[in-house]
Amino acid sequence: MDEELQRLILRGENDAVDFKQRINQPEKIARTLVSFANTRGGVLLVGVKDNGTISGVDPEEEKHTLQQAADFYCDPPVQLLYEEIEEDKRTVLKVIIPESSTKPHFAKVKEDDWRGYVRVKDTSVQTSKMVNKVLAQEEEEQNQLERLPLDRHEHSVLDYLEKNPRITLRQYMKLGNLSERRAYRILVKLVLHGYLRLHDKEKEYYYTLS
User: How does residue 185 score in pLDDT terms, banded at 50, 70 and 90?
Assistant: confident
> What single string gives the DSSP state of each residue in 38-54?
HTT-EEEEETB-TTS-B
Q: Do residues 34 and 124 make contact, with C-beta atoms less than 8 angstroms apart?
A: yes
- Dump pLDDT digits (tens) for 118-150: 988 888 888 877 677 777 776 665 544 454 568
Q: What is the dihedral of CA 17, 19, 22, 24, to 10 degrees?
A: -60
Q: Which CATH class is domain 144-209?
A: mainly alpha
Residue 145 is predicted with a pLDDT of 46
- Dump pLDDT digits (tens) for 45-57: 999 999 999 999 9
Whether 34 shows a pLDDT value over 60: the answer reads yes
Say what the pTM is. Answer: 0.72
Residue 68: Cβ-neighbour burial (10 angstroms; 0-12, 13-18, 19+): middle
Q: Which fold has domain 3-124?
A: 3.30.950
Q: Write down the domain spans for the chain.
A: 3-124, 144-209
